[in-house]
Structure 1
């Protein structure tokens, strides 16, 4: 794993960098072999002394992301690692169970970069300012896996290709906490 540790309003000391790398390297035990992934860590300190850590690990067919805030940076690091471990265990169990049921022997957790991302809504009207465009390959999956990916990314929607119909769908979180799917007619 390649670590990219940045600090905002904080100097990333060698001791802090070493602690982050040591804690995050414990996640490697959940993968078949050492994943060749770039780990993006952003450490922030706010005016009210609140300290925040954001970790993003893009991988093949999966993006792990977590953030935590605490008054102590080292405590925030411990909390974010715990959150990432829970995400990995939950996702690995569900996805590997799905692959076993389908008779596939390939492991979900493999080396590589992620090509899965969430697309921001685009508008073509002159009344709206377009500030970002994202392009990505849509991976065929079922709605359950799309909801899992959406929750791991911490977003309210996720664009994917429906594996059974081969059409582009959007899964989203409703205001009542349940989920909805938008399908083309």
Structure 2
């Protein structure tokens, strides 16, 4: 497991880094290799915040906790991640998504529209290319929950079509599917 630590508004602590690395070893029983974990230690006045982002093959999850003790925050955030990964692994066993490993590449563009009168055409600010992994709708919902995202672009495992899953304001989910002719 590759662990990247970042210290914000505090001095680097080898003891704290070693403690987090030791505790991160317990999540390896839930996910496949290779695993990369990013650990952010932040101090804001009296709050000690630990945020952990874990990337593994096919799954990304993140969680954060804030307490008055950095070591307690590490324990709490790892408990939260462990619960998320355990729930994810159990749901995968129940749903058995398609084993189709080829995903589609989707390009995402961010447009800037400062003034519609002054500039009639929006300007592309950034472009990001991602792979739309094949998965079932239920697995896409789990990925959105784990990533704390408002939408997810994925390839439907059954049809192979690109779909968009989004979180509605009422807390439910919406699914955009392409129209078949």
Shorter-normalised TM range: 0.7 to 0.9
Partner residue, 1:67: 64
Aligned to 1:123: 111
Q: Secondary structure at the match of 2:77?
A: helix
What whole-Å deviation, never above 9, does each CA across 1:147-176 have from its counterpart, x for those lacking one? 100110011111101122222111111111
**Number of aligned positions between the proteins:** 169
Task: Show CA shifts across 1:59-95 (max 9, x none).
Answer: 1111121111222211111111001110111000111
- Which one of 48, 51, 64 corresponds to residue 51 of structure 1? 48
Whether the aligned pair in 2 keeps the contact of 1:119 and 1:159 (CA below 8 Å) is no
1:37 alignment partner in structure 2: 35
* Contact persistence 2:112–2:125 (CA under 8 A): no
Q: Relative contact order: is structure 1 or structure 2 higher (C-alpha 8 Å, sep ≥ 6)? A: 1
Gap regions ≥5 residues in structure 1: 105-114
Q: Which moved more, 1:125-134 or 1:148-157?
A: 125-134
Is 1:168 aligned to residue 162 of structure 2?
Answer: yes
Higher strand proportion (structure 1 or 2): 2
Question: Is 1:77 matched with 2:74?
Answer: yes
1:80-112 Cα offsets, whole Å, 9 max, x none, are: 10011101110001112222x97x7xxxxxxxx
What CA distance in whole angstroms lies between the structure 2 residues aligned with 1:16 and 1:159? 37
Q: What do you get for the CA RMSD once the two structures are aligned?
A: 2.7
Distance across 2 between alignment mates of 1:121 and 1:78? 38
Unaligned segments of structure 2, at least 5 residues:
116-121
Contact residue 34 and residue 57 of structure 2 kept, 8 A: no
